[in-house]
Amino acid sequence: MYFCAPVTEVKSLMKKSSILGLIVIAIAIALIIGLYGSASTYGSFKDAKSTNGELHVIGYLDKTKELYYDAAKDANYFSFFMKDKKNGEECKVIFTGTKPQDFERSEQIVLVGEMRGGEFHASHIQMKCPSKYTQDKVEITEASAKKADL
Amino acid sequence: MDTAFKGEHLLPGQLGQFFVILAFASALLSTISYYFATTNPDQSDRSWQRIARFSFFTNTVSVIGIGCCLFYIIYTHLFEYHYAWEHSSKSLPVYYIISSYWEGQEGSFWLWGFWQAVLGNILIWKAKSWEKPVMTIVSLSQVLLSSMLIGVAIFGERIGSSPFILLRDAIDLKGTTPIFASRPDLYHNYLSYITDGNGLNPLLQNYWMVIHPPTLFLGFASMVVPFAYAIAGLWQKRYKEWVQPAISYSLFAVMVLGTGVIMGSFWAYESLNFGGFWAWDPVENAALIPWLTLIGAVHVLIVYKNTGHSYFTATFLVLISFVLVLYASFLTRSGILGDTSVHAFTDLGMFWHLVVDVAIFLAISIWLLVIRWKELPISKKEEETYSREFWMFVGSVFLALSCLQLIIVTSIPVWNAIFKTNVAPPNNPVTLYNVFQAGFAVVVTLLAGFTQFLKYKKTDTTRFFITSLVYFVFAGLITALVVYTSGIYHLHIVFTLVMLGAIYSVLANAKVLADAFKGKIKLAGSAVAHIGFGLILVGAVIAAGTSKVVSQNNTGEQYSSEFAKHNDPKENIMLYKNEPVKMGDYVITYLGDSLSMPNHYFKVDYKLMDANGGLKEEFVLKPNSQFNPKMGLVSSPDTKHYLFHDLYTHVTMVPANSGISQPDDGHSETNDDQNYDPPIAHEIAVGDTIRFREGYILLAGLNKKAQVQNIPLTGNDVAVGAKLEVVSHGKTYDAEPVYMIKNGSAFDFARKVEDAGLKLRFSKIIPEKGKVEISVYQQPESKKAYIVMKAIQFPYINFFWSGTIIMVIGFLLSIFRRNKELKTV
C-alpha cells in the first residue's frame, strides 16, 4: 500500500524521523562520552601524587597509628593513616568532618579525594565494616542458669 | 541425625520447605498447562485451562503457606532457623516482625511472589480471552520467583536460598565457636547456648519500613502484567486489543511503584542520616529506571490507541520495563555493586540464577519481536508535526534517554565485570546525576506543558502558538520570581530551566484541569498527574538545591596551613551539655540524653530569637542513636516540620564514653578525682561567692543538722552541711556537701553537680576566721558531656511530598477513566 504514497510524503517521513533518530543517537553518544569523562579511576597514593584532581583510593586503616579526632578542638577535623591496597604505601589522610561511627572496625576503606602536600585530603569516605552478612559467627552466650531449665 | 539436637522445632521448617517445593512445582505445571491451553487448536477443550487454574491456585496457597510458616518461626523466636536468628530478636515488637520479613532477600522474594500470586488471581478472574496467554507469562515469572526460594542443591549447585535453612546448616557452629570445638559433646545441646537472635537492623525499625517494601514490591510485581499483555499480543497476533488493558495495568504499576519509591525517599529523609531525600544510590536508581520507562510506555500506548502510531515504541517500552525490573533485582541482589554502594548487599550465591532470570524474559521479548517483525502494525505514515501524538512520542523517547543515562552510570560495576576494566564511579555522582537528569527533566516538562495545547492528528497552528506562548510568558514571570526569592540562580543554570519547565507544566495542566471542571472530565486524570509531577520537581529543586547547613562552624582550631588554605566548609557543630551556642537564627542547647532501649536520645533545645532578643519560639528535637551490636552506632535524625521548610538535625558524633551518666555511688573517690582538674580550695564566709569557669557558687548558709545516709551521729559527733547555690548558664542548682567529725576523726562527703560539671567538697571549717573551706573540682572540657551535630534546613520540601500525593490522585483518576473505556472480551 505504501508504494502508492506520494513521493513528497515519503520524503518528509525520512526527514522528521531521521532528525529525531539522529538527535537520539547524538544524545546517547554524548551520555557515553559523558560517562567516560566523569568516571574516576581507582589508584594508589602514588598515583594521587601525580594526578591533578580527585580519585578513588582503596586501602586499609593502619590500626597501630593514632586516629586523631578531638571534637573539643575542632569538630570537623579527623585524621588517620591508611595503607593503600595497590602498593601498601602509607599516607596520612585528613577528612573535614566527624569521625565516622565505628571507623576503627573498618575492614576496607574507599577514599575519594586528592593529595595536597604530603597529605591526602578526602572529600568522601566509604568504609566496609564486617557486615552482619559476612560475620558468620554465632555469638554464644553462656546460659548456665537457663540450661538447668531445659 | 536431626533428633540428636535438643530443643529444635523442625515441623514449621519442614512444612515451609514443603510449601516452597510445592509453590515451584505448581507454578511450573501452571505455566506448561497455560502454554498448551493457549496453543491447543481446539479452544473449546478446557481441560488444560482447568489444570492450569488449579495449579495456579495451589501456588497461591503454597505462597501463603510459606508466609505463615515463616511468620510463625519469627514470631515464636525459633532461632534454630537461620532466618529468624539473622533478622530478628526477642525484644522486637510484633509490628517490626513484619519488617524483619523483608530484611533478608528470601523474605523480599517471597513478598514479590505473594503479590504476583494475587495479581495472577485477579487476571484469572478478569482477563477473559486474554487469560491463557497472559497467565502463561505470569506463571513463568512465578516459576522463576519460586525457584529463588528452593535452597536445594541440584548437581552440586544450590538453587536459590530458602528461608527455612537451619542455623546449624547455614553456619558451621562446630568450626567457628570455641565451645563446641573443645567440647563436641555439648554440640547436641547447641540451642540452649543461643539465647537471642541478631536483631533487626535499627534503620529498618521504622514504621515506613513496614509499608514501604510491600508497596514497592506490589509495584515491581504489577509490572509483569503489561509485559504479559504485550507478549500475549505478539504471540496471539492481537496487535491492537492488548493495548487497552495494558494501559490500565501500566497506570496501576507506575502509580504503586512511584508511591513506593517516594515512600522509600521519605523513609530515608526521616531515618537515615545522609541528609536528604534522594541520593542517587544504586538501589534508588534501580527502582526509578523501570518506573521511567513504564511512564514513557503509558504515553506511547495512549498514542497508539488513539492514532495507530508508535506501535513498536509502545511494545518495546512495555517489554523493556519488565526486563529492567529484573535487571534491577540482579543489580541489587547479586552483590555486583560491591564497592560502589554503601548498602551491604550479599551475594547469596544467586548471581547466575538472577542473570538467567533476566536472560529468559529478554530472550522471549526479542525472539517474539523478531519472528513477528514483518507483521507488526508499524505505521508508514508520518505523524503531523503539530499533533499531540508526535510530541508525546518525543517526550517518551526523552524519558527513555534519561533512563539510559541512569543505567549507564549505575551499571559501571557491570561494565567492569564484562569488559574486565577497573573504572571507578564518578567522584561526585550526585552532581552528575542531578545535572543530567535535570537536563532531561527540562525537555520532558516543557513537552508535558505545550503538548496539552495540541490535539490528536492535527491542530490549528496559530491558536496553538498563541496559547502556548501566553502560558510560557506567564510561567517565565513566575519562574523569575521563584528563582530570585529561593536563590536557585546560584546553582547551575539547568536547575533554573527545570523550574521553568516544571512551572510551565503545572500552569498548562491547570488550564486543562479547569476545562475538565467545565465538562471535559475525562482529561482530569492526566492533568492532575502532570501537575503533581511538576510540583515534585519544584519541591525537589528548591529543597535539594537550596538546602542550607545551619550548623556552620568556623571556630575550630586550624591544624596546618595546608588544611586552612582550602577553607573547607565546616558543617558540624559541637555542643557541651547545658552550654547554649548560637547557630544561625537559633540558640541551641544540648540538654542531655536519655535511654529508652535500644534508642539513645539526645535532647537539643532550640530557641528562635527575634531582633530584640525576645524569645519567638522554643522546641526540643530528639535525634537518636541506636547502638547495635552488628552495626555499631546508627544515628537517626529528628526534624521540625514547618509549612514552608523543615529543620533537620542529626547527631554525627558522640564521645565513646558518653553514655548514660553513671549513678554517683560515692565510692572509688581517688579514681573519680581523675575525671576532674586539680581542685582549688576557697576560704569563704556565708554570703560569699566563688567564681568558676562557667558561673559562680554562692554559700547561702550552713546546715548544722546535716544528715548523711546510714551514718548515725552519736555523742560529740558533728555534721555540718554547706548550702551552696551553683549558678551556671542561667540555671541554679543546689548542693550540700557535708563536713563531719565522728569519733574524733574528720570526714567529708562530696557532692556533684553533673550538669555544671562540678564536684564540691566541704574540706575544712576554720572557726577562728569564721570561714569554711570549699574545694571546687571542675571537669576539664574534654571530660564534659557533649555531642557533635549537624543541622540542615530544607526549604519548600512540602511541595515534593504534596506533589507526590497529587500525582497519585491523578493516576487513580486516569485508571478509573481507562477502566470505564475497557470492554474486555
Q: Among all residues of chain B, which has the CA nearest to that of A114? A: B427
Q: Do B652 and A98 touch (CB under 8 A)?
A: yes
Residues B620 and B729 in one domain: no
Q: Do B344 and A143 touch (CB under 8 A)?
A: no
Residue B565, pLDDT > 80, answer no
Q: Do B408 and A31 touch (CB under 8 A)?
A: yes
B731 class by beta-carbon count within 10 Å (0-12 exposed, 13-18 middle, 19+ buried): exposed
Residue B233, pLDDT > 70, answer yes
Mean pLDDT of chain B: 85
For residue B597, the model assigns a pLDDT of 64
B228, part of any domain:
no
For residue A2, the model assigns a pLDDT of 42
Q: Among all residues of chain B, which has the CA nearest to that of A29? A: B405
CA distance B568 to B566: 6
Mean pLDDT computed over A69-75: 78
Residues B112 and B257 in one domain: no
Q: Which residues of A touch B179 (CB under 8 A)?
A: 140
Residue B627, pLDDT > 90, answer no
Q: Which of B6, B193, B393, B561 to mutate to test the interface with A (most CBs of A within 10 A)?
A: B193
**Is B499:B476 a contact under the CB 8 Å cutoff?**
no
Considering its fold, how many domains does chain B have in total?
A: 5
For residue B824, the model assigns a pLDDT of 52
B72, part of any domain:
yes
B808, part of any domain:
no
What range defines the domain where residue B755 resides? Answer: 672-783
Which of A77, A124, A143 faces B556 most closely, judged by CB atoms? A77
Give the least confident one: B366-370, B419-423, B568-572. B568-572
> Rounded to the nearest 5°, which phi and psi values hold at B547?
-60, 145
For residue B658, the model assigns a pLDDT of 44
Residue B518, pLDDT > 70, answer yes
Give the least confident one: A139-143, B270-274, B488-492. A139-143
For residue B347, the model assigns a pLDDT of 65
B63, part of any domain:
yes
For residue A98, the model assigns a pLDDT of 80
R_g (Cα) of chain A, nearest Å: 28
Q: Which residues of B touch A22 (CB under 8 A)?
A: none
Neighbours of B797 (CB within 10 A): 25
Q: Which residues of B touch A129 (CB under 8 A)?
A: 631-632
B807, part of any domain:
no
- pLDDT-derived band at B276 (thresholds 50, 70, 90) equals confident
Residue B624, pLDDT > 80, answer yes
Residues B647 and B687 in one domain: no
CA distance A119 to B566: 13
Residue A3, pLDDT > 50, answer no
B669 class by beta-carbon count within 10 Å (0-12 exposed, 13-18 middle, 19+ buried): exposed
Residues B328 and B398 in one domain: yes
CA distance A33 to A51: 21
Residue B564, pLDDT > 80, answer no
Residue B206, pLDDT > 70, answer yes
Residues B613 and B579 in one domain: yes
> What are B389-403's pLDDT values in tens digits?
889 999 999 999 999
Please say which residue of B393, B425, B457 terminates a domain. Answer: B425
For residue B48, the model assigns a pLDDT of 94
- The C-alpha cell 495545547 sits at B453
Q: Give the pTM.
A: 0.83
**Is B622:B601 a contact under the CB 8 Å cutoff?**
yes
Residue B758, pLDDT > 90, answer no
Q: Report the gap between the CA of A105 and the closest CA in chain B (Å).
A: 9
Cell of B357: 532470570
Close Cβ partners of A115 (under 8 Å, ≥ 6 residues apart): A45, A48, A49, A51, A91, A121
Mean pLDDT computed over B542-549: 86
Note the ipTM here. 0.73
Residues B9 and B96 in one domain: yes
Closest among A11, A113, A132, A109 to A60, alpha carbons compared? A109
- The C-alpha cell 554502594 sits at B341
Q: Do A75 and B572 touch (CB under 8 A)?
A: yes
Q: How many CB pairs under 8 A join A and B?
A: 179
Please say which residue of B425, B460, B482 terminates a domain. Answer: B425
Q: Which residues pair with A124 in a beta bridge?
A: A112
For residue A146, the model assigns a pLDDT of 26
Please say which residue of B401, B425, B449 terminates a domain. Answer: B425
Residue B179, pLDDT > 80, answer no
> What are A5-57's pLDDT values in tens digits?
444 444 444 567 778 888 888 888 888 777 777 777 788 888 888 888 788 88
Higher pLDDT, B461 or A12: B461
Residues B733 and B703 in one domain: yes
Q: Report the gap between the CA of A71 and the closest CA in chain B (Å).
A: 7
Q: Which residues of B touch A2 (CB under 8 A)?
A: 380
According to the per-residue pLDDT averaged within each range, which of B196-205, B230-239, B567-576 is highest? B230-239
Extended beta strands in B718-816, E state: 718-728, 731-735, 738-742, 745-749, 751-753, 758-766, 771-778, 786-795
Closest among B501, B511, B493 to B538, alpha carbons compared? B501
B804, part of any domain:
no
Mean pLDDT computed over B635-641: 85
DSSP B247-304: HHHHHHHHHHHHHHHHHHHHHHHHH-SSSSS----HHHHHHHHHHHHHHHHHHHHHHH
The SS3 assignment for B81 reads strand
Q: Do A2 and B380 touch (CB under 8 A)?
A: yes
B795, part of any domain:
no
H or E, element range at B625: strand B624-628
CA distance B31 to B34: 5
Give the least confident one: B502-516, B527-541, B780-794. B780-794
For residue B339, the model assigns a pLDDT of 64
Amino acid identity, position B291: W
Residues B589 and B713 in one domain: no
Residues B9 and B147 in one domain: yes
Question: Percent of chain B scored above 90 by pLDDT?
Answer: 39
Mean pLDDT computed over B310-332: 94
Helices and strands in chain A: count of H runs, count of E runs: 3, 6
**Is B790:B635 a contact under the CB 8 Å cutoff?**
no
Q: Report the gap between the CA of B390 and the closest CA in chain A (Å).
A: 10
Residues B365 and B389 in one domain: yes
Closest among B228, B231, B251, B249 to B239, alpha carbons compared? B231
Give the least confident one: A74-88, B588-602, B667-681, B767-781. B667-681
Mean pLDDT computed over B662-673: 49
Q: Among all residues of chain B, which has the CA nearest to that of A150? A: B192
Q: Which of A31, A52, A60 to mutate to test the interface with B (most CBs of B within 10 A)?
A: A31
Higher pLDDT, B234 or B7: B234
Mean pLDDT computed over B274-280: 80
Mean pLDDT computed over B51-62: 97
Residues B649 and B710 in one domain: no
Residue B768, pLDDT > 60, answer yes
B387, part of any domain:
yes
Q: Rounded to whole angstroms, what are the CA distances from B110 to B22, B498, B502, B687? A: 14, 40, 39, 74
Residues B497 and B414 in one domain: no
Please tell me the total number of residues recorded for chain A in this structure. Answer: 150
Which of A28, A75, A140 faces B553 most closely, judged by CB atoms? A75
Which of A56, A72, A121 faces B424 most closely, judged by CB atoms? A56
> What are A82-121's pLDDT values in tens digits?
988 888 888 899 888 888 777 777 778 888 888 888 888 8
> What are B255-268's pLDDT values in tens digits?
999 999 999 898 88
